[in-house]
Structure formats: C-alpha cells, structure tokens
Amino acid sequence: MSKIGVFICHCGENIGATVDCAKVAEAAASMEGVAFATDYKYMCSDPGQTLIKNAIREHRLDGVVVGACSPRMHEPTFRKACAEAGLNPYLCEIANLREHCSWVHPKGDDTTEKAIEIVHGLVEKVRRNSPLTPIHVPITKKALVIGGGIAGIQAALDIANCGHKVILVEKEPSIGGHMSQLSETFPTLDCSQCILTPRMVEVAQHPNITLYTYAELDSLSGFIGNFEAKIRLKAKSIDESLCTGCGLCTTKCPQKKIPSEFNAGLGRRTAIYVPFPQAVPNKPVIDKEHCTHYRTGKCGVCEKVCPTHAIRFGQEDRIINEQVGAVVVTTGFNVLGTDFFPEYGYGRYADVITGLQFERLASASGPTLGEIRRPSDGKVPEKVVFIACCGSRDPAKGIPYCSKICCMYTAKHAMLYQHKVHGGESYVFYMDIRAGGKNYEEFVRRAIEEDHVNYVRGRVARIYEKEGKLIVKGVDTLLGATPVEIEADMVVLATAGVSNQGSEELAQKLHISYDPYKFFAEAHPKLRPVETNTAGIFVAGACQAPKDIPETVATASGAAAKVAALFSQPDLVREPLVAVVNRSAPPVFSTCVGCFMCQTACPYQAIEREEIKDRSGKVIKVVAKVNPGLCQGCGTCVAFCRSKSIDLQGFSNQQMFAEVEALLETTN
Amino acid sequence: MNNLTELANKLLGDGTATKVIGYEEAHGKTRPCFCTEAADTGRLVLDERCTNNIAVYLTKPEIVGGHKVAVTATLPVLRTMVQLAMENQLPDGTTAIVSTESGEGLAVLPTVGDMERVVAGTPLDISGKERELRERLKAMSREERWQFWLGEMSRCIKCYACRAACPLCYCTRCIVDNNCPQWIQPWASPLASMEWQISRVMHMAGRCVACGACKQACPMGIPIHLLTLSLAEDIQNEFGVAPGSVMDHGNVLSTFKPGDKEDFIR
Amino acid sequence: MSNDNNSAFEPRIIAFVCNWCTYAGADLTGTSRIKYATNVRIVRFPCTGRIDFLLLLKAFASGADGIIVSGCHPNDCHYTSGNFHARRRWMVFRSLLDTLGIDTRRIRYSWVSAAEGAKWADLVNDTVATIRELGPYNEYKKVADYLGKEAGDE
Amino acid sequence: MENLHITNGQLAQWLDDMRRDGLRIFAPVAQGGKTDFKFLAEGDTVAEDYVQTAQSAKRIVLPMAEVLFSYRKHGKDIEVANPGTDRFNDTIIWKARPCDARAMRQVAEVFTRDYDDAIFEARRSHTTIVAFSCNTCDDCCFCTSVGGSPGGTEGSDILVTTLTDGGGALVEVLTPKGEGLAAKYLAGAARADGIDKQAHLADVRVLFSADEVRAKLDGAFDSPVWQEQSERCLGCGACAFVCPVCTCFDIQEDAHGARGRRIRCWDSCGFSMFTQHTSGHNPRPTQAARWRQRILHKFSYIPEKLGEAGCTGCGRCSRACPVDMNISEHLKAIAGHE
C-alpha cells in the first residue's frame, strides 16, 4: 500500500488564480494510495520545501507528487528536497499545473478538473516508481587521437598539457597532415611549416604523448571512459630504436621515380623514404609496394648501407591494444579527384594542376624550391588562370556544398603568384566570393586591388591546348555573359574538399554517424559541435566538413576541452534513467530471447550481448544487456522489444500504462 | 526406400544431423514428425501436402536441445529458417533438406547462405484466393471493416494456436503472459482478441514470411493471416521489403530511413 | 456512430509527447499564455521512440476519443533517431489499424518543436474540433466494455 | 415423458416458432469455413451439413469470461458490486450433439459436486438442451469408446433423431424442461411408434476400451510415452478450449487504480504458464508433463471421481489440433502400450 504525498502549489496567482488548488488537494487526498495532500502558496520557496520534507518524515511518505510548474523548471528542486528528507529523489514526480493548465486555460471547473486528472495520472505513475541511484562509470584517463594533422596535433597537445596521457595515431609515416604541405597561409601569409613544425616536434617530445605513425585503428570496442582500441602498427621495415635518421638509405635507394605524395605528385621520392625533411618522426619507412627488394627479392642496398643495421625486411604489422577513456577523431579531408572534369583537361595537360599542387609549387620546400614554374617545361608561367568551385556547389557533377576554403586559398594563390612573378597576369574565375572570417574580406580585396588579380565572375566551360597555350573559354556574367577567352600558361583548379578515403569504414569501426558525403556527424550542429552521438568520441577539424586552419584548431581545442572535462571527474555519474534488460531466476534467466533487433534500433550502440553460462562455463543463453554507461534513455528499444524484456527506468511500462489509464479514469 | 529416407539416413549416419524434423503421413494428411535413427526415417514425406511450418520446432529447446538438426523444408519453412537465422534463433549447424526446383530431386543446404540463395531465387507468390480476400477487405468502408473484424474477433477463443503455430512467435514470455502491466486482458473478449492480434501482427512486421500457419492453426477459422498479409503488402510498398526476403541489417521496425514517408504527420 | 448532442460532447484526448520538443513546446504555449481547449491530457515520454503502440490502444480502451502523438521534427531528435524509429512504427501501425477498421482519423501525429508554442495550441484546438466532429468513439468503447454489458447475461 | 414422431416440416416449424417467439437460441451456424454455435440472429440459417461444430455449447453455462464481482475503493471503504444470479435469460441450445449434452452433465459435476457454484447453477437452470442424434460421423469421433453413443440421451432435455429415410424425426422428450418445450411447440405431434432409432444413427467404431486405458494409466506416470506422444505438440490451448468437458479456469483481477473486477476465464493445461509459479519454478516444465496431465486428468483422475472418463469422444480436439495430436490414436496407443 503506497503512501503518496501530493503538494499543490499556487505559484502565487499563477496557478492559484485559475485552478482551485484547495479543491485539487482535496480530490488528491481521496485518491487511491494518497496518504497526505495539501496546497501552499509557493511550494518551491524554503517554507514550501520544508513543508514537503516535514510531510515526508511525518507521514513516512514513499512517493511525492508536486503539482506546480513544468518539471523542466523545478523537478531538480523538488527531487533534491525529497532526497534531503530521506526519500529517494526518483520517487518524486511533477504534475505540470502551470504551463500545461493554468496558463493555457481560463478559470473554471474544467480547468480545475483537468488539474485533478493530471495529478491523478502522476499519482498512479509515482505509485509504480522505483528508487533509483545514479550510475557511476569508471574512466580510463587516457585519450586516443586518430589523425596527426593540425587538428590531431592540437588536440593531443591540449589534452597532454592538462596532464592526461594521449595516444596519437597517424596513418602516414609522419604527422603534419595537409597543413605541412601548404606554402603560406591566409590571411596573414605566414609560412605554414614555420608555425606547424614546432608543434610537431612538441608532440614528439611530450612526455604524455605516445605517437604511433604509419599506424591505423583496427577496431574500437567498449564505451565512454572504457574503450579498448586495437591499433595496427604497419611494418616500417626498420628498427626505429636503431635508426638514427641519418638519411643515407634514402640517398642510396635506386628506386627514385616514385611520385611524392607530399608534393602532390609534382616531385619524386625513393622507396625507402621520409615524406619531407621536417617529418616527425624523422625516420624512414620502406614503401613495400615500390621497393625492389619486396617486389623481386633483389636489391637490399639500404640494408647494406645502413650504418646501424636498422633495416628489417622481415618486419610484420603489429597490433597493439590500448585502453582509453575518450577518442578524438581528426582524420581530416581530401581533395576531390579531378577526373570528372574532362573539359578542364586535368591529367591530359600537365599544366592544369590542383590547388594543392600549386601550394607545393609555391612552397620553399617544394619541388621548385618556391619558384612558380609550370610542370610541363619548368617555364615561369606568364598568365595563370585560377578556377574556383571545381566540384563545389555543383550538385550535377560534384558536390552540392561549398568547400569553404577555396575562395580564400585561391585569392592567396593568385596573390603569391603575383608576388613571385612580377609582371605576371592572373585571372580568377569564381561564382561568388565567400570571405567570411577575420581579415578575410580585406585579404581578397588586397589581391584584387593591390596585387591586381583579375576576378572574373563566371564559369569556365572548357580548356584546350593550342600552340603551347592553354585556351580557357568561359563567360563573364557581370558583363552580361560575355564570352571570355584567355590564353594561359597554367591553370589551377580549386577542387572541392571531400571526406577522406576510408572515413565510412572508420565511422563504422567507431560507431559514429556520418553525413551523405561521409563527413562525420556531430551530435548537434550548433550546441554539440565536437561531440558525436557515441558518448566519449569526439570529432574535430576537416573530417566534419571542410574547414580552414583557425576553425580546425578551434574545434580541436574544443574537443580537447571536452576530453579534459570528462577526465576531470573521478568517475562518470549518469542519470539512472536508462534502459534495463530484465533478469530472472533460472531456468529463464531473462525473458530476452536474444533476437538483438534492439541493437539495430539503439542510436548509441548501448546494447551488448551477454552470455549466460552454467557452472561448468557452458553458454546456456545469449541475451541483451544495456550498457548504462552508453544508454541515454530514449527508450526506443523498449517500445521495440516484442517480449517486453527491456524497460526504461523512470518511464517504465508499468508507470506509463498506469498514467495513461489514470488520466482517463473519471475521478468523480 | 525413397530418396528422402535415404538422404535422411545419410545425414544421420555421417553426423550431419542427429535429428531430422520432417513430415509424416497420418489421417489422410501430413503432420510433423521427428526421426533420430535410421529405423524412423521410412515414414518421411515431403510434398505439397506438407503445410505445417515445422520451423516452429527449431526454437524449442525441448526438441533441438543437444541435437544437430536437419529439417525437410518446404519453401515457407526455408524462408522461416532464414529469418530465424537473422534473428539469432537458428541453432548452429542446422541443415535444410529441400526439393530441387524441378521437384524431382532433393538437395541439402548446409549453411544459411545456401538457404538464403534458394529463398532469394524464389520470391513469394501470394495465392489468388488470398489476394481476392484482401481486395474484398480493401473495398469495404472503414465501418464495414470494423464490423467484419469485430465479428471475427468475437469468435476468437484465445487458445493462442496462432501464436503456437507461428515459427516466428518464439518469445520466452509472450506479451500476453506479461501482467506487469497487464498489456492485454488475458480473457477472451473481442477487445482483448483484437489487441492481441494487433500486437501479434505488429510484432510480425517485416518478419512474417506469409506461410499461413497462423490461419491454418486457428480452430475457429478466423482469417488472421489477412492481417499479416495486408501489413506485409503495405510494408513492401512502403519500404520495399518483401515478405520472406532477407534484410541485411535489422528489421523494418528497428531501422529507418531519414526520407521515410511522413505525409500523415502534420 | 452517434453524432447527436455534439455540442455537449467534450472529447477526451490523450497526448503522447516527447520531453525535449513537444513537452517543451507545450511549456512555451503556457509561458506565452496562449489559450487552448482543456480536453487534452499530456503524458510525457523521453522520446517518441519510447511510445509503445499498445499504449495508444490502451488510451482508446480506457475511453479516449482521440489521441495526439507528437515529438521532435526530423533531424531534431534529442536522441538523434528516436523520432525516425517512431515514424516508421506509426506508418506500420496506421496501416494495420486501417485494415482493422479502427478510425485512424482519431490519432493525430505531429511534430512540434520546443519553439512552436503556438503550433501546439493550434494542434490541440484542431484535434479537439476534429474529434468533436467525429463524435465520441462509441464503437471502441462498446467493445472495450464487452464484459460489463454484452457477455454478462450470456 | 414421451416419444414423438414429427415430420420434417414440423421440425422446421418448431424452430421457426421459437425464433418468432423471440427465444434465445444457441445453434450451429456456418461461418468462416467452420460451423459453430451462436445466438441465432435475424437472417442466420441453422447449419445442416456438418459433423461437428468447432466448439461445444459449453460456454452457455461456463462463459469464456465472466465477472464474478466488481469493486471500488473509497479510502479504506470498499464497495463491492455482485452481479447476482437473477440476470440470466432462458436459452435453448439447439442441435447439440449427444456427446455435448453428456459433457454438460460432467461439467455440472465439477461445479456442483462439493461446492455449489451459484452463477453456474443459475446459468444451467436457464438452459434447455435440444440435442440431435448423429446420423454421420468422421474419423475423429469416438464416443462409443468412452461409453457414449451417437444417439445417447444423457444430459439432453429433448433428443431429436432425424430419420435418414427422410421420414421426419423422432423426438424423445426426456426431462420436465423438455416437456415444457414440447408441450408448447409440439402439441399436435404424433406419438412415435415402432421407430428403430438405432438404424438412423451413425456407425461410430469402438477404437479402444476406456477401462483398459484407465488401467494402463495407473502405472504410466513415468512412462516414456508422454515424451513420444507430445513431441510435436505446440502447447496451444485449442484442444482444451474446444473440449466440451474441460473446466479449468483462471481467476483474474482486472484492476484499475481504485476500481476493479474479478473475472473467471477459461484456461488450459496445455499452456506452459498454467502451472508457472511466481518463483519461476514450473512443476510441469515440459510439454510432455502437460500432455500427461491432460490425459491422466481425463482418463484417470476424473474416472476416479465420477466413474467415467472426462471425455465424451466428440473428437473436437483432434480436429482443432494444428499438428494432428489425434487423441483417439494416442489413447489407442496407450491401451496397447506395454
């Protein structure tokens, strides 16, 4: 027999002027299971709360309904008051008599009657409430950062500087990412490597950071605070403890014609190589695909010349396990392949290049040592055309979204070209100029006004070669769609930013969602921009969408702050309003039949398989189990479960059932 | 000795199976039977008279516990086995014996993949009679449909033969046996019968293989299969999931598409 | 179905709403002091994904004349996909109810966000008007009361 | 008590007259591919061509569900409403089979033997059974193996035997209730004379001896036969719910907050939940145990109490079973079991 206390708040005039609160309390007093009912002017005030606490003690109440404002307002207040009186806070429910009743209806019997029925519904619900205790989940205070571009570097450093261990995993032989390939950065034109490489070195030297390059995530299991990552360390074919990074092997390697990824194909590298001179770690790896030894079993020059005998041809991939409490995904982006612009002749004409290739041409560490020379014959181009929006904002052939960074880097490219090739002529074909950002618009204006870059608003229809020149045919829409034809020496395509290869696969490994373009999805685009729907996994940088460096760094620091906040608690405390799969005595153990359809319904991958074993360890039954660390309490699984083996604490089947019935039962 | 007996003996002999679930002839019809040794298998038959869905036994520990099972499977049984496999309910190592397409020979399907291939290659064909019944139902006004079903549900005696005969109703504890809360009144009444059927059919959404076992089992002759069939048809139209087809991930109701229809939501 | 005395008929309507959007939206209706009909009783669920179809039937069996089901707009779900799951469930459920001849006009589905206080008021008023027009759901009530009336003297 | 001979026309007129007088008549009507009892309504035709109805007429005296009482709590006071026994109307069960009429008497034994169930009694007192002898039977029928006959009079108020030569029907008026009915509707009927009733009855073969079965069952509790026979049983309640003799019921509480009803409803020993304890323990954990209970109850325990089997051989369970759990086949096997 329950002993429920009902407390009707007048909220001054807010409820009291419309609802006959005394009558509601009187009606409540005669409801089944109600031991005490009263009304009061301001229930949330100190005396009001004291009234509730005293009643709990005096009448030994085992449940409380407060008829007051919305539970979204004062539920925590009243639950806390109950707890102070020794009643489990989850045995308190709020009847919304203000927002859902007095404020929306006129004074009258109907309104009072409605208030009574609302209270009745919650009395019947609270009679079936169970005492609940918050869930504590331990946290492994070590973070895994996947991707060693500027986002990963920033996140790793920020977390490490908070005093937490970090594992940074990079799939390439060196960290640095796309930023290390850039020449100067907009809008300040400071040298990208100059600002990046100190950070790279800091990562390598940080006592809290363990760096795994040439490594990839194999799998991730577990949940927030308690992940287990399997990391594949790809065979570098060297013993890193012996290698001093002297570089002798790379100079002696006879296989010298491999296109350099770092130089976007404009330079060459050897089979044993360090991607670029400032690489971290600055130790080579052997590219098995191109190495003569791996292909034919011959050669082995590097092995012969290595002064420390660090070459290990027999080395195999290794998989290591790491326990981590949080994951930050910073796998960056890629640029769109240009093969679907046959009309621009990329690949056919050596001097039609991508923006990333131009970065390498303009970079002091690039294949031309920073001089703008076109790839075909090494001549300095006198006329360069830059084409913005190559693939971006092009639902028909490319991608519908704006790649965001192209307007700015194209302005930068044109500007760099004008700075480096005095007397050169540059043209930018554009759709719109999107230069929202600190000093961005000024930067574009400078390109146009000070560096005399010719901006042509219009699309390029076609590029073809004629007598050693690239004929660029387009229109100028600002001049009434006048055809424009430019005889260029070089054309630079601002190809769209797209998600990185393998991002879909990675998302599936991490159980995080992604958008139709395979960029990782944030939990909320505005309010939870660096969280994912999987608790404990965060995202930052261009793996979410194309981003410029400041935004990338900002999100990386944001994600790091989220990780640090998580790690700052002794353990994770969660509301106990989670789903639970029933357990019962043998031989049933649970009414769950283990169809695991709930697993596909759960947005949080919170449902696990539990093997129920007999004493000899033989599996009798496999049933579902909700991980309270992951469950967010939506209850989708509960409504889906055919055998009603899952229930949601705080909104249980019995509670909801009783509330619905009671709301329809005439009380008079 | 017929081919089926021979094949069953072979599977029992080489350890592929320790129990064959099949059909035997009795009272001018066929019924399920179980063979554990060669001496038993002479009675096995597999032909168009075999209408019970014997996949129903695959989820009964009393029958399959400790056994490796081979099932002489008609197409509906095979479809059920594939669905059971998807739902983690097909005992490991279960083998299917099926008639080959020509109807002459027999084939052994040792893996779920094999079963899936046969099922995928044989789309469900709903008989003209059922189609006609459904059309008749569709042509009724809402009030007529309500009266029709009310009349049918009033005849229900709540024996749960529909549940017992359905191979996909394998819950350890059925919702009707759950009394906290009492979701569905346990006594027979038109409302309780209707609520039960609604639950049953909702639970079958996207899972029903349209074998008709429920209807066949009903001692009162209530055409409850029309409910599952209608829903299966609507699901096929709406989500492109045909009854008895193989979904690679989850269930119609445990998955969604962001672009699902919502013209009814205003 | 009797439509007599509809002026005296006050529909009883149960609203099944999610905590994060529609419940908050209805709070906003209150905060904005927008008036609406008193006929609706709100049941708060964490998410539309939690709403069991049997609870809807239970509402009819307990005497509801109409039902509102409302949650977050697509893509706004607090739990990202609960409303998508719910939407599918309702599609299938509606189709089944229609096959059985249960009056699907009496269940109104809607998306009401936390910012749509006015929409909530409109939704309630509109639903009350619709149900008033349809009259009490006597067909269902009669069946629900079977044991009390029909079978008693068998 | 007398025997009458009426024409086919008189027989039809009799039913028509009762319908015209507004009597509540519970009779077999073809519906949904099956023939089953229902209260005759305008437009209903009493079925002719069938062997057995899907269900027996048992629910006239033992409804599938009935309210025993209802209550409402007011604080500590509880107001109980008893529906009483004066609410029942006279009902005529028309065209029950002799096996059903006989079963009705057995059901009554259960409800009146050592405790008078007032509601049951009231229902029964308002019921008049006009049974019809069987002219035909099918493979599932075995009344003759359990002491019955296709023309048995036991339990009926009137037994009508339609004459297979088309020469009308023999009407045996058996009880005062039957007499009352006959007096009203068959006032001008001729006395029956020299009709060989037996010649018009179906030939129901004797398949086994109930006594032999009972004797075999005495030591059969641990026999492997239960496991063998029940293997294909699906555990539904069809057999029990179509059985004219089964009386197992459940008491359910239909509670809603402060009000509620107590309800008696049919239950079946075939359901696994039938004996499930709250603790999780189930004394009949397997279908074999439940099948054993069904057979022992009908053919051992009831005979012990009533001196006859709790089965009248109507064969409905065999017809209703989705997996052909043919009871006479099983009983035959038990009788022949060593």
SS3 at position A187: coil
Residue C151: its pLDDT value, please? 45
pLDDT in tens, A232-266: 999 999 999 999 999 999 999 999 999 999 999 99
Residue A668: its pLDDT value, please? 37
Which residues on chain A are in Cβ contact (under 8 Å) with B89?
Answer: 593-595
Residue A310 lies in a domain: no
- For residues B156 and B219, state if they share a domain: yes
B90, B120, B150: which is the final residue of a domain?
B120
Q: Are strands A92-96 and A537-539 parallel, antiparallel or unpaired?
A: unpaired
Lookup: tokens for B234: 């609507």
Lookup: tokens for C125: 């008023």
Residue B246 lies in a domain: no
Residue A194 lies in a domain: yes
- For residues B107 and B135, state if they share a domain: no
Residue C78: its pLDDT value, please? 86
- For residues A347 and A429, state if they share a domain: yes
Residue A16: its pLDDT value, please? 96
Which residues on chain A are in Cβ contact (under 8 Å) with B62?
Answer: none
Residue scoring higher pLDDT (C147 or B43): B43
Residue B140 C-alpha, separation from nearest chain A C-alpha, in angstroms: 31
Q: Are strands A34-40 and A4-9 parallel, antiparallel or unpaired?
A: parallel
- For residues A290 and A324, state if they share a domain: no
Q: Is the pLDDT of residue C150 over 50?
A: no
Quick one: average pLDDT of A381-386? 96
With CB atoms and an 8 Å threshold, state whether A99 touches C81.
no
Q: Indicate the pTM of the whole model.
A: 0.82
Q: Are A624 and A608 in contact (CB under 8 A)?
A: yes
- For residues B88 and B20, state if they share a domain: yes
pLDDT in tens, C9-52: 999 999 999 999 999 999 999 999 999 999 999 999 999 999 99
Q: Are B183 and B224 in contact (CB under 8 A)?
A: no
Which residues on chain B are in Cβ contact (under 8 Å) with A654?
Answer: 180-181
Residue A598 C-alpha, separation from nearest chain D C-alpha, in angstroms: 25
Which residues on chain A are in Cβ contact (under 8 Å) with D257?
Answer: 31-32, 120, 124, 658, 661-662, 665
pLDDT in tens, A440-483: 999 999 999 999 999 999 999 999 999 989 999 999 999 888 99
Q: Are B173 and A582 in contact (CB under 8 A)?
A: no
With CB atoms and an 8 Å threshold, state whether B198 touches C100.
yes
> Which domain CATH number covers A97?
3.40.50
* Phi/psi at C80 (5° precision): 65, -45
Q: Residue D338's pLDDT band (boundaries 50, 70, 90)?
A: low
With CB atoms and an 8 Å threshold, state whether B34 touches D232.
yes
- For residues A299 and A432, state if they share a domain: no
Percentage of chain A with pLDDT > 90? 87
How many whole angstroms from its chain centre is CA A545?
A: 10
Nearest to D256 among A586, A588, A665 (CB): A665
Q: Does C55 touch chain A (CB under 8 A)?
A: yes
Residue scoring higher pLDDT (D31 or D129): D129
Three-class DSSP labels, D293-323: HHHHHHHHHHHHHHCCCCCCCCCHHHHHCCC
Q: Residue A336's pLDDT band (boundaries 50, 70, 90)?
A: confident
Quick one: average pLDDT of A398-409? 94
Percentage of chain D with pLDDT > 70? 99
Write out residues 60-79 of C within 8 Å (CB-CB) of B.
61, 74-75
Residue B12 lies in a domain: yes
Write out residues 30-69 of D within 8 Å (CB-CB) of C.
59-60, 63-67
Residue D113: its pLDDT value, please? 87
With CB atoms and an 8 Å threshold, state whether B180 touches A645.
no
User: Number of residue pairs across C and D with CB atoms under 8 Å?
Assistant: 22
pLDDT in tens, A48-104: 999 999 999 999 999 999 999 999 999 999 999 999 999 999 999 999 999 999 999
- For residues A378 and A405, state if they share a domain: yes
Of A411-420, B232-241, D91-100, where does mean pLDDT reach its minimum?
B232-241
Residue C154: its pLDDT value, please? 46
Q: How many domains does chain A have?
A: 5
- For residues B97 and B147, state if they share a domain: no
Write out residues 251-270 of D within 8 Å (CB-CB) of A.
256-259
Which of D67, D86, D259 has the highest number of chain C CBs within 10 A, making it the mutation to test binding with C?
D67
Residue A542 lies in a domain: yes
* Phi/psi at B107 (5° precision): -135, 150
Cα separation, B110 vs B23, in Å, equals: 19
Residue B264 lies in a domain: no
Residue B231 lies in a domain: yes
Q: Would you write out chain B's pLDDT as a tens digit for each of its 266 residues?
A: 578 999 999 999 999 999 999 999 999 999 999 999 999 999 999 999 999 999 999 999 999 999 999 999 999 999 999 999 999 999 999 999 999 877 678 999 999 999 999 998 888 877 778 888 889 999 999 999 999 999 999 999 999 999 999 999 999 899 999 988 999 999 999 999 999 999 999 999 999 999 999 999 999 999 999 999 999 999 999 998 888 777 777 888 889 988 898 899 98
> Which domain CATH number covers A597?
3.30.70.3270
Nearest to D89 among C147, C151, C153 (CB): C153
Lookup: tokens for A285: 């790896």
Cα separation, B236 vs B231, in Å, equals: 8
Cα separation, A519 vs A512, in Å, equals: 11
Which residues on chain B are in Cβ contact (under 8 Å) with C97?
Answer: 198
Residue B104: its pLDDT value, please? 73
Residue A666: its pLDDT value, please? 67
With CB atoms and an 8 Å threshold, state whether C153 touches D60.
no
pLDDT in tens, D148-205: 999 999 999 999 999 998 889 999 999 999 999 999 999 989 999 889 999 999 999 9
C13-149: CATH class? alpha beta
Q: How many domains does chain B have?
A: 2
A interface with D, Cβ–Cβ < 8 A, is 30-32, 120, 124, 584-588, 658, 661-662, 665
- For residues B69 and B175, state if they share a domain: no
C interface with D, Cβ–Cβ < 8 A, is 62, 147-148, 151-154
Q: Are A430 and A407 in contact (CB under 8 A)?
A: yes
With CB atoms and an 8 Å threshold, state whether C147 touches D88.
no
Residue A221: its pLDDT value, please? 85
With CB atoms and an 8 Å threshold, state whether B148 touches C101.
yes
Residue C3: its pLDDT value, please? 45
Residue B1: its pLDDT value, please? 53
Residue A245 lies in a domain: no
Q: How many domains does chain D have?
A: 1
Which of C43, C78, C120, C122 has the highest number of chain A CBs within 10 A, making it the mutation to test binding with A?
C43
Cα separation, C45 vs D116, in Å, equals: 50
Q: Is the pLDDT of residue A147 over 50?
A: yes
Q: Residue C148's pLDDT band (boundaries 50, 70, 90)?
A: low
Residue B250 lies in a domain: no
Please report all neighbours of D, defined by 3+ CB atom pairs within 8 A. Answer: A, B, C
Q: Residue A604's pLDDT band (boundaries 50, 70, 90)?
A: confident
- The number of beta carbons lying within 10 Å of the beta carbon of residue C152 is 14
- For residues A543 and A595, state if they share a domain: no
Q: What are the extents of the domains in chain C?
A: 13-149
- For residues B135 and B51, state if they share a domain: no
Write out residues 569-628 of A within 8 Å (CB-CB) of B.
588, 590-601, 622
Residue scoring higher pLDDT (A342 or A200): A200
- For residues B101 and B25, state if they share a domain: yes
Could you give the angle at the alpha carbon of D186 between the alpha carbons of D185 and D190, nearest 5°? Answer: 170
- For residues B112 and B192, state if they share a domain: no
Please report all neighbours of C, defined by 3+ CB atom pairs within 8 A. Answer: A, B, D
Domain residues for A286? Answer: 250-305
> Which domain CATH number covers A175?
3.50.50.60
- For residues A454 and A527, state if they share a domain: no
Query: Read out DSSP for A476-542?
Result: EGGGTSEEEEEEESEEEEEEPEEEPTTHHHHHHHHT--B-TTSPBPPSBTTTBTTB-SSTTEEE-GG
Of D26, D40, D51, D60, which is closest to residue D244 (Cα–Cα)?
D60
* Phi/psi at A22 (5° precision): -65, -40
Domain residues for B65? Answer: 3-120
Residue A83: its pLDDT value, please? 97
Q: What is the interface pTM, i.e. ipTM, of the complex?
A: 0.93
Cα separation, A472 vs A458, in Å, equals: 12
CA distances from C136 to A667, C2, C121, D53 (A): 19, 8, 22, 38
